[in-house]
């Protein structure tokens, strides 16, 4: 009962559930988390924009220009360093790519352009942004990084920006939920999962504020400084259904293996037997660049960073392994090598899961971006 009361669903958790209920369930099992460069970059850019919108400009000369570039970069650098630390503290992480900082700067500039656009200013060089202009943007900012929660606490989300829409006379005409996105901009229209996420923000806001003006939610894609409207009906009823279906349970939720779930980004394959059976059945196991596999390690040469492994296939749908006798040479480098060696130092002996390895070649390659984990599938009963 206590557990149940604490259960709340965010848009990203809902999306995970819609992609594959088992993926959602696994994500709640306190398994070792995975960090990624794209997510860290996005968080640093978000946080720096939020900081910039909250910067104290009291007492500054309104006509002062040539200030924002330095401030913005100092804030970004601070957030970047914080994210780097979090990234390295996350148990599963690839190599940190310092050269991505330039991309973060570009994305931050894209976000500033969209804020300028919100007050009707386009194409202004950032060194010409005055204190007065930034104060105007700040004055239209109702909330920054606000937590949105339904009154019953069941649905929640983290809202990047809530801005006031005003007409030419300065009169409030509506609220704008702007969600900063540092990923690839949409082609034609928002992806359904992003549209759903934005509508969830919109609808929680409306349900909590009976007297709210019209609310529009937009995805703000910093890469191209393009704004995309969320459109569609209220999603709260469907969100509550998902909340109900995702209540904490000892028994794993059903898997929906397939190309769009397992073939996309699922961080929990080392604990799921279903992608493995699905791949084996459709004969795509151990095929392709960035493929996943389960192997038994027979020999490892630390000096040359090469191993001889035996390919395994599923013996049943519990995740038990059937060695095939098919031997492979594998090279390990970067984080892939470090993690394998740590695993061997820990005395690991059983089968090993290799995630996103390059298998389209004579000698497989396990590089810095790969997962190397003990194969520890959780069967459908939940009891390993
Ligand atoms: S590997 Fe596939 S079936 Fe298993 S949890 Fe992930 S998406 Fe679902």
- Domain locations in the chain as residue ranges: 2-240, 269-374
Output 170 or 352, whichever has higher pLDDT: 352
State CA 304 to chain mean position distance: 35
Question: Per mean pLDDT, which range of 3-12, 83-92, 253-262, 293-302 is the poorest?
Answer: 3-12
Q: What's the DSSP call for residue 252?
A: P
Beta strands 321-332 and 371-374: pairing type?
unpaired
Q: Give yes or no for residue 3 having a pLDDT over 50.
A: no
Pick the atom of ligand 1 nearest to 22's CA.
5
> What's the whole-number mean pLDDT along residues 193-221?
95
Residue 302 pLDDT exceeds 60: yes
Q: How far is the CA of 135 from the centre of ligand 1 (A)?
A: 47
Question: What is the pLDDT averaged over residues 124-153?
Answer: 95
- Whether the pLDDT of residue 214 is over 50: the answer is yes
Q: How far is the CA of 28 from the centre of ligand 1 (A)?
A: 14
Q: Residue 106: is its pLDDT beyond 50?
A: yes
Instruction: Give the mean model confidence (pLDDT) for residues 52-65.
Output: 96
Count of positions (residues) in the chain: 384
Give the Cα separation of 196 and 65 in Å (integer). Answer: 40
In this structure, the residue with its CA closest to atom 5 of ligand 1 is 23
Kindly state the DSSP code that residue 358 receives in the 8-state scheme: B
Pairing of strands 364-366, 321-332: parallel
pLDDT of residue 4: 47
Closest approach atom of ligand 1 to CA 268 = 6
Q: What is the mean pLDDT of residues 111-115?
A: 98
Confidence label for 44 from pLDDT (cuts 50, 70 and 90)? very high
Give residue 62 CA to ligand 1 midpoint distance, Å.
55
How confident is the model at residue 2, as a pLDDT?
41
Residue 339 beta carbon below 6 angstroms from any ligand 1 atom:
no
Look at ligand 1, atom 4, and give the residue with the nearest C-alpha.
Answer: 272
pLDDT one-digit tens code per residue, 67-86? 999 999 999 999 999 999 99
C-beta 272 within 6 A of ligand 1: yes
Judge if the beta carbon of residue 269 lies within 6 A of ligand 1: yes
Q: Binning pLDDT at 50, 70 and 90, where does residue 185 land?
A: very high
User: What is the pLDDT, as a whole number, of residue 338?
Assistant: 94
* DSSP3 helix / strand / coil % (the chain, rounded to 5): 40, 25, 40
Ligand 1: distance of its center to the CA of 360 in Å? 22
Average pLDDT, the chain: 95
Does the CB atom of residue 94 touch ligand 1 within 6 A? no
The pLDDT assigned to 146 comes to 86
Q: Which helix (H) or strand (E) holds 227?
A: strand 226-229
Confidence of residue 97 (pLDDT cuts 50, 70, 90): very high
Question: Ligand 1 mean position to 187 CA, how many Å?
Answer: 27
For residue 278, report the distance from its CA to the centre of ligand 1, in Å: 10
What mean pLDDT comes out for the span 185-206?
95
In three-state form (DSSP H/G/I as H, E/B as E, the rest C), the secondary structure along 198-221 is: HHHHHHHHHHHCCCCCCEEEEEEE
DSSP state of 3: H
DSSP 297-336: EEEEETTTTEEEEEEEEESSTT--EEEEEEEEEEEE-HHH
Instruction: Please report the sign of the dihedral spanned by the C-alpha atoms of residue 151, residue 153, residue 155, residue 156.
Output: positive
Report the distance separating Cα 159 and Cα 252, nearest Å.
30
**C-alpha 270 to ligand 1 mean position (Å):** 10
Structure tokens at 209: 């504020």
Ligand 1 contact via 26 beta carbon (within 6 Å): yes
201-212 pLDDT, tens digit each: 999 999 999 999
Mean pLDDT of all residues in 234-241: 97
Cα(219)–Cα(187) distance, integer angstroms:
13
Residue 72's pLDDT is what?
98
pLDDT band at 5 (very low <50, low <70, confident <90, very high): low
Beta bridge partners of 174: 165
CATH architecture of 2-240: Alpha-Beta Complex (3.90)
Cα–ligand 1 centroid distance for 316 (angstroms): 16
Task: Select the more confidently predicted residue: 383 or 316.
Answer: 316
Could you identify the residue written with the tokens 């409207």?
Answer: 229
* 266 Cβ inside 6 Å of ligand 1: yes
The pLDDT score that the predictor gives to residue 384 is: 63
Q: Which atom of ligand 1 is nearest to the CA of 23?
A: 5
CATH 2.30.29 assigned to domain 269-374? The reply is no
Q: With a 6 A CB cut-off, is 17 part of the ligand 1 pocket?
A: no
Rounded Cα distance, 235 and 339, in Å: 42
Residue 190 has pLDDT above 80, yes or no: yes
- Ligand 1 centroid to Cα of residue 260, in Å, is 10
pLDDT grade for 168, boundaries at 50, 70 and 90: confident
User: Of ligand 1's atoms, which has the minimum distance to the CA of residue 273?
Assistant: 4
Considering just the CA atoms, what is the radius of gyration of the chain in Å?
A: 24
Band (pLDDT 50/70/90 cuts) for residue 171 is very high
Probe residue for ligand 1, chosen from 256, 275, 282 as the CB with the greatest number of ligand atoms within 8 Å: 275
Q: What percent of the chain has pLDDT over 90?
A: 94
- The token duo for 10 is 């965010």
pTM given for the model: 0.92
**Partner residues linked to 325 by β-bridges:** none
Q: Is 275 in the pocket of ligand 1 (CB under 6 A)?
A: yes
């Amino acid at each position: 009962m206590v557990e149940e009361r604490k259960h709340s669903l965010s848009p990203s958790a809902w999306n995970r559930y819609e992609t594959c209920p088992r993926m959602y369930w696994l994500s709640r099992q306190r398994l070792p988390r995975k960090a990624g460069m794209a997510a860290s970059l996005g968080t640093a850019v978000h946080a720096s924009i939020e900081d910039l919108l909250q910067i104290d400009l009291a007492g500054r000369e309104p006509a002062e220009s040539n200030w924002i570039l330095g401030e913005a970069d100092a804030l970004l650098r601070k957030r970047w360093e914080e994210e780097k630390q979090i990234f390295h503290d996350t148990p599963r992480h690839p190599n940190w790519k310092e050269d991505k900082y330039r991309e973060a700067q570009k994305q931050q500039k894209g976000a500033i352009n969209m804020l300028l656009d919100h007050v009707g200013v386009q194409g202004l060089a950032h060194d010409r942004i005055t204190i007065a202009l930034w104060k105007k943007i700040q004055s239209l900012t109702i909330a920054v990084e606000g937590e949105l929660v339904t009154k019953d606490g069941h649905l929640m989300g983290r809202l990047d920006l809530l801005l006031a829409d005003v007409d030419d006379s300065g009169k409030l005409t509506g609220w704008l939920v702007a969600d900063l996105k540092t990923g690839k901009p949409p082609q034609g229209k928002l992806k359904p999962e992003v549209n759903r996420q934005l509508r969830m923000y919109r609808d929680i806001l409306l349900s909590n504020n009976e007297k709210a003006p019209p609310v529009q939610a937009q995805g703000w894609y910093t890469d191209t400084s393009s704004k995309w409207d969320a459109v569609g009906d209220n999603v709260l009823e469907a969100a509550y259904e998902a909340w109900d279906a995702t209540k904490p349970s000892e028994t794993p939720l059903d898997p929906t293996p397939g190309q769009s779930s397992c073939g996309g980004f699922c961080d929990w394959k080392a604990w799921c037997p279903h992608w493995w059976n699905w791949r084996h059945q459709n004969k795509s196991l151990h095929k392709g660049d960035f493929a996943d596999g389960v192997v038994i390690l027979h020999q490892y040469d630390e000096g040359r960073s090469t191993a001889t492994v035996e390919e395994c296939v599923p013996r049943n749908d519990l995740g038990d392994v059937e060695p095939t006798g098919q031997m492979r040479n594998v090279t390990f480098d970067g984080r892939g090598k470090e993690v394998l060696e740590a695993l061997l130092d820990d005395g690991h002996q059983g089968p090993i899961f290799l995630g996103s390895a390059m298998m389209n070649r004579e000698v497989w390659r396990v590089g810095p971006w790969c997962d190397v984990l003990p194969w520890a599938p959780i069967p459908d009963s939940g009891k390993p």
